[in-house]
RNA sequence: GCAGGGGUAGCCAAGCACGGAAAAGGCGCAGGACUUAGGAUCCUGUUCUUAGUGAUACAAGGGUUCAAAUCCCUUCCCCUGCACCA
């Protein structure tokens, strides 16, 4: 056979030529529509991504071969700022990035046009389709390709949002989002898709506490409003410049950084005069809630970038506060420097407010002592803080001095106290990020209030209930997700669905200043693949694609004549689209990576349920896990993984496809390993070699027992594959096809099988089963075998009957062989002769009786013994019989009656006689077979007495 | 924290929803065959013990049962996702 690459090209051309990749409606023929969640266009993909895509193609191919008309469309997702960033990096001559492009095969002259984001999208779209999906031999309907930034797709999304609006699922409310000043709201996540720094940052809610000083307020930001009863002083960093700001008719003092952040979240803030931290030291200010005057003291840990830049001090429960207060009391020089009197310092004493199991009156003190921290600025203070916060929150209870909150659990008191202070005007809410975040464009990301943010109301109970109910009728794998998709749906609340700024995407039809964000424009899109065909070939254009058009083709609203007149689309085209949608929808399988479980899949389900009728609801979801790198996830953005074209060249497409299908269950992560792929390549080589050998073999014998065995085995595999594929279990299928069936066919040859007719029959079963996972090789072998047509468009034959008897008999021979080898090994002798003694017939008789009793449901040792003793012949052997009965009964109760039936029915003697030649050759010694009943048998060591049904006695000489 | 998943040979990994001789299959390793056009192929073995037997063994410990990797409880240890990111 020629090289992989050559046969890949050959058969891909052939499939395309014969139109296997085109999915058209065929009335009356069952259909199967499958997609993978389309990838975002953010750069080159790597070998990990092809895992899920390959599953999709293999399942589609299998369905095609079991009678279905299969539609497998593909597309890409370009909404967002990925392409914009990419283009700007090219435009800015970012060397690392240009190197990344060229390393992955981007020609130099292409760089110029990549400065245009849309061109960049086109560039990658072409790569995804030609270098990844087509290269992998997918039978996708390329005519239907769509991309989220194409104008026709946009029309579809606008229609979808109009429908959501009609269902009252769009709403507006203020929203606090991490936002870039240029690009608007950004996503913060570990993959750092939108941002260049700070992927693990979180938005934290601070309570701003207002401390009155004269007619001004010093503002402290706290994460623990429940600790206000323990406030004893106020920390200001003497080395920081603060500023006064006008907030409504109040004057606040905060750090300059905090002032900037506040302006993003609160209206009408004006910055007034600056004030140095050191000028506030020694002030007295009135603490909220407890209304006590507390002194302002110096603290270096107070960071202007965090919160308001000032901190209220609760030494009892805050390690920083405790250690700073202690330091201040110890080092009187500092107090002196700021003119603080000793009496003032001494008057500040911690107040115990929360009791936590395992801690004393002052949790902060305890944790500091146990961790051995002895001065401010110790880096472990952060850990100490986290620990004591966590324990306090979950196990703590408010002590009796906490007024109306006394006795409450901290978890409960926290919200209540915060709310009480907000209500009395002593506190406000403020949001900040836990660490510095920088947008891809280089600008700092801050939390910003957006007043008129639009949301999709996934919190809608009625919709949630209906969606959840529908999921009960779906096929969702893995089973865990099938279980917890319901909780995921319930956990969803409103989701911001639009954003502003420099983003690619579709204009929000309700208010055009917004652009629909990336998740929200990718929920209903499988439906669009049916329509995209017509937009792509020009039969309809974005101008025609009005709300009325979509209402008609998707929902069956309106009269075709009328719609045709209003849209300018010919009626027959409208009818075709409508019929296509009725034929292809609902979607049978949506396959996607595990990251979709809490993001894409729920909204995919919600939107279908909200907009489309009952008979258009999705039928299945398949989730696949990742291919990982050595230590961490192979990442698109961080590179390091093998580019796809290189891998294809190195290993061949089919070995890669087999690797994905078989290396592990779909539902576990797999560590990428070239050696693994290589072993799959070798396995395919072996299969190819074996088949070629079978085809070219000159030997031609008649049918023997082993022929029946082979066909029975293959029928069994076919049936188990059918069952496995009901659950889309490609791995189990691949085990049968590429391992077990190969082993069987090898064994067949070893046992002297050489019947042309059987071999042909076996290949007709085997090769098509290879077509879903390794289509190119299957095609090549199919043609080499001289079978008609393309195997990819053939139908899998229904599984024939299995012969339990034939399989049992073969197993018996194998056991005998293995036992002899065992004995040879243990004795480390090389025998010249091997004597086999089949069971004495009385033992079979006992077994037979036992089996009868078991089937009658009355098998036990005493009654079987009794029954045996009633037999005159058996009674002669009294002692041996009763001993054997014990063994037989335990034996019988432990295993299925099915296998015991074969055990009794098999004529072991003639079976061994027929296998004599084979055993002699395999074992390298002459084999003699005797029946234990034979009084003249050569048996010098009386081994024959060990013979039982299914287990002949063995003597080596 | 919330939600969920898992611990099976040197390694990867089936089996577990529905209890019925545990180790499918692969990799690795060790012998042997064939022979070095190869990242080969074929055979055998791979917990201990042993004339093919027997004994141990599915994270640890309990329980239910004639019977437990599988069902229940306790403990220990790993992992995943958590929102505007396909």
Tell me which DSSP letter residue A777 carries. H
Q: How far in angstroms lies nucleotide B20's C1' from the CA of residue A896?
A: 9
pLDDT for the residue numbered A714: 92
Name the nucleotide with the smallest C1'–CA separation from A78.
Answer: B86
A399: number of Cβ within 10 Å: 18
pLDDT for the residue numbered A472: 86
Cα(A863)–Cα(A876) distance, integer angstroms: 18
Alpha helices in A772-803 (DSSP H): 775-784
Token pair 């086109």: residue: A122
Alpha helices in A49-104 (DSSP H): 50-64, 82-91, 95-103
Name the nucleotide with the smallest C1'–CA separation from A77.
Answer: B86
Could you identify the residue whose CA is nearest to the C1' atom of nucleotide B41? A686
Could you identify the residue whose CA is nearest to the C1' atom of nucleotide B33? A922
Name the nucleotide with the smallest C1'–CA separation from A957.
Answer: B51
Q: How far in angstroms lies nucleotide B35's C1' from the CA of residue A919?
A: 25
Bases along strand B below 7 A from a protein CB: 1, 3-6, 12-15, 17, 20-21, 24-28, 39-45, 50-53, 80-86
Q: How far in angstroms lies nucleotide B43's C1' from the CA of residue A919?
A: 14
Token pair 């260049």: residue: A196
Phi, psi dihedral angles at A836 (to 5 degrees): -115, 135
Could you identify the residue whose CA is nearest to the C1' atom of nucleotide B17? A479
Q: Mapping DSSP to helix (H, G, I), strand (E, B) and coil, where does residue A12 land?
A: helix
pLDDT for the residue numbered A178: 84
pLDDT for the residue numbered A102: 87
Give Cβ neighbours of residue A1 (< 8 Å, ≥ 6 apart). Answer: A7, A688, A692, A780, A784
Q: How far in angstroms lies nucleotide B36's C1' from the CA of residue A957?
A: 37
> A234 and A218 in contact (C-beta within 8 Å)?
yes
Share of chain A above pLDDT 90, in %: 44
Nearest to A673 by CA among A659, A653, A691, A686: A659
A273: number of Cβ within 10 Å: 8
Cα(A642)–Cα(A660) distance, integer angstroms: 15
Q: How far in angstroms lies nucleotide B8's C1' from the CA of residue A743?
A: 25
ipTM of model over 0.85: yes
pLDDT for the residue numbered A637: 38
pLDDT digits (tens, 9 = 90+) for A41-67: 888 888 888 888 999 999 999 999 999
Phi, psi dihedral angles at A788 (to 5 degrees): -80, 150
Low-confidence ranges of chain A (pLDDT < 50): 1, 631-640
Cis amide leading into A38 (omega within 30): no
Cα(A121)–Cα(A42) distance, integer angstroms: 8
- DSSP-derived secondary structure for A520-540: TTSSSGGGHHHHHHHHHTTSS
pLDDT for the residue numbered A387: 74
Q: How far in angstroms lies nucleotide B21's C1' from the CA of residue A888?
A: 13
Could you identify the residue whose CA is nearest to the C1' atom of nucleotide B82? A598
Cα(A613)–Cα(A475) distance, integer angstroms: 19
Name the nucleotide with the smallest C1'–CA separation from A192.
Answer: B85
Nearest to A527 by CA among A80, A71, A167, A149: A71
Residues in a beta bridge with A246: A251, A270
- For chain A, helix, strand, coil in percent to 5 are 50, 15, 35
pTM of the model: 0.87
Residues in a beta bridge with A240: none
């Amino acid at each position: 056979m020629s090289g992989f690459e050559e046969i890949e090209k050959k058969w891909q051309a052939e499939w395309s030529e014969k139109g296997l990749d085109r999915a058209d409606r065929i009335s009356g023929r069952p259909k199967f529509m499958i997609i993978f969640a389309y990838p975002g266009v953010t750069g080159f993909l790597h070998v990990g991504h092809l895992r899920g895509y390959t599953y999709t193609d293999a399942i589609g191919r299998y369905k095609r071969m079991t009678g279905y008309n299969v539609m497998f469309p593909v597309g890409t997702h370009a909404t967002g700022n990925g392409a914009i960033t990419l283009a700007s990096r090219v435009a800015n001559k970012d060397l690392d990035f240009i190197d990344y492009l060229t390393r992955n095969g981007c020609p130099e002259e292409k760089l110029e046009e990549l400065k245009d984001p849309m061109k960049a999208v086109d560039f990658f779209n072409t790569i995804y389709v030609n270098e990844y999906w087509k290269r992998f031999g997918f039978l996708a309907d390329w005519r239907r390709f769509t991309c989220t930034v194409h104008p026709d797709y946009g029309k579809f999304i606008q229609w979808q949002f109009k429908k959501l609006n009609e269902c009252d699922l769009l709403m507006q409310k203020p929203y606090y989002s991490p936002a870039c000043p240029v690009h608007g709201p950004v996503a913060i996540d570990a993959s750092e898709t939108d941002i260049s720094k700070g992927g693990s940052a979180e938005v934290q809610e601070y309570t701003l506490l207002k401390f009155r000083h004269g007619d001004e307020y010093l503002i402290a930001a706290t994460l623990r409003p429940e600790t206000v009863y323990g406030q004893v002083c106020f920390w200001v960093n003497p080395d920081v410049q603060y500023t006064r700001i006008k907030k409504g008719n109040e004057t606040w003092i905060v750090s300059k950084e905090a002032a900037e952040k506040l302006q993003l979240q609160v209206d009408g803030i004006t910055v007034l005069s600056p004030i140095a931290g050191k000028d506030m030291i020694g002030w007295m200010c009135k603490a909220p809630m407890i209304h006590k005057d507390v002194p302002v003291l110096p603290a270096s840990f107070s960071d202007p970038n965090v919160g308001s830049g000032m901190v209220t001090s609760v030494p009892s429960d805050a390690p920083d506060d405790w250690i700073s207060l202690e330091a201040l009391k110890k080092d009187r020089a500092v107090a002196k420097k700021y003119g603080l009197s000793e009496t003032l310092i001494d008057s500040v004493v911690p107040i115990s407010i929360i009791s936590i199991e395992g801690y004393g009156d002052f949790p902060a003190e305890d944790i500091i002592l146990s961790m051995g921290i002895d001065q401010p600025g110790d880096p472990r203070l952060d850990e100490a803080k986290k620990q004591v916060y966590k324990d306090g929150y979950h196990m703590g209870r408010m002590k009796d001095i906490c007024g109306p909150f006394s006795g409450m659990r901290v978890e409960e008191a926290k919200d209540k106290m915060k709310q009480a202070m907000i209500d009395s005007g002593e506190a406000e809410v403020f949001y900040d990020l836990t660490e510095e975040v920088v947008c891809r464009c280089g600008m700092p990301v801050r939390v910003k209030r957006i007043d008129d943010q639009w949301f999709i109301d996934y919190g809608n109970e009625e919709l949630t209930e209906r969606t959840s109910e529908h999921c009960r009728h779906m096929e969702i794998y893995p089973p865990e997700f099938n279980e917890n998709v319901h909780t995921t749906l319930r956990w969803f609340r409103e989701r911001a669905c639009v954003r502003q700024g420099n983003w690619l995407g579709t204009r929000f039809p309700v208010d055009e200043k917004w652009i629909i964000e990336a998740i929200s424009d990718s929920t209903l899109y499988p439906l669009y693949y049916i329509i995209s065909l017509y937009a792509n070939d020009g039969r309809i254009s974005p101008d025609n694609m009005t709300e009325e058009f979509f209402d008609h083709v998707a929902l069956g609203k309106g009269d075709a004549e009328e719609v045709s007149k209003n849209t300018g689309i010919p009626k027959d085209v409208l009818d075709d689209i409508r019929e296509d949608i009725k034929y292809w929808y609902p979607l049978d399988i949506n396959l996607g990576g595990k990251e979709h479980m809490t993001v894409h899949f729920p909204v995919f389900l919600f939107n279908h349920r909200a907009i489309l009728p009952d008979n258009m609801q999705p039928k299945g979801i398949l989730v696949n896990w990742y291919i990982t790198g050595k230590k961490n996830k192979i990442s698109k953005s961080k590179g390091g993984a093998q580019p796809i074209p290189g891998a294809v060249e190195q290993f061949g497409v089919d070995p890669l496809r087999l690797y994905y299908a078989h290396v592990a269950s779909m539902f576990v992560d797999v560590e990428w390993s070239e050696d693994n792929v290589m072993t799959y390549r070798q396995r395919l080589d072996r299969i190819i070699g074996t088949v070629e050998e079978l085809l070219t073999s000159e030997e031609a014998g008649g049918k023997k027992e082993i022929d029946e065995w082979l066909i029975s085995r293959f029928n069994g595999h076919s049936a188990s594959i059918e069952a496995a594929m009901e659950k889309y279990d490609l791995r189990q299928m691949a085990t049968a096809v590429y391992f077990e069936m190969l082993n069987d066919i090898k064994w067949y040859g070893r046992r002297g099988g050489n019947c042309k007719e059987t071999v042909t029959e076996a290949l007709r079963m085997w090769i098509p089963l290879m077509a879903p996972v390794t289509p190119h090789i299957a095609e090549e072998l199919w043609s080499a075998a001289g079978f008609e047509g393309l195997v990819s468009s053939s139908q899998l034959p229904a599984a024939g009957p299995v012969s339990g008897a034939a399989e049992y008999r073969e197993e018996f021979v194998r056991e005998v062989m293995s036992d002899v080898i065992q004995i040879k090994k243990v004795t480390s002798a090389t025998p010249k002769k091997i004597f086999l003694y089949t069971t004495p017939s009385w033992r079979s008789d006992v077994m037979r009786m036992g089996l009868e009793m078991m089937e009658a449901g009355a098998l036990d040792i005493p009654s079987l013994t009794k029954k045996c003793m009633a037999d005159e012949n058996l009674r002669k052997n009294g002692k041996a019989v009763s001993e054997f009965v014990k063994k037989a009964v335990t034996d019988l109760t432990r295993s299925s009656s099915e296998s015991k039936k074969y055990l009794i029915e098999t004529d072991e003697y003639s079976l061994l006689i027929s296998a004599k030649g084979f055993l002699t050759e395999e074992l390298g010694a002459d084999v003699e077979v005797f029946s234990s009943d034979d009084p003249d048998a050569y048996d010098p060591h009386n081994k024959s007495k060990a013979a039982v049904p299914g287990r002949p006695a063995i003597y080596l000489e």
